[in-house]
Amino acid sequence: MRRALRYAVSLFVGLLVTASVAEFSATDHLLTISLFPLYVAVSSMMIAHRRTLISLSRDAAPARKRQAIVGGVGALTGGNLLQTSIPAGAAGFGLMFLGMVTVIADVNDL
């Protein structure tokens, strides 16, 4: 995907997530604003490394078991953060995705 198109899609995703959280949340305005650069960076890196992201999800059984454990812990933690506040939950999921995509980018560079 061309770089300009990737960045345009990333900006759209960042605006969409930030606007959605701002619509459903009346508090934590600074946290809501900080979601924009977080989701722009995550979506841009996911688009850039999409082939590696897809190929890693088709690994052998031990890798799938590890991914299921991480997904379960992430869902439990994200659910608890969402009960605290919507911006905190969105930030938690964004940081989890940022960690995942950073590792995928490192694997892609090997």
pLDDT in tens, 91-109: 989 998 898 888 888 887 7
**Is 49:104 a contact under the CB 8 Å cutoff?**
yes
pLDDT in tens, 4-61: 898 999 999 999 999 999 898 877 788 889 999 999 999 999 998 888 878 777 767 7
pTM of this structure = 0.82
**Domain layout of the chain by residue ranges:** 3-109
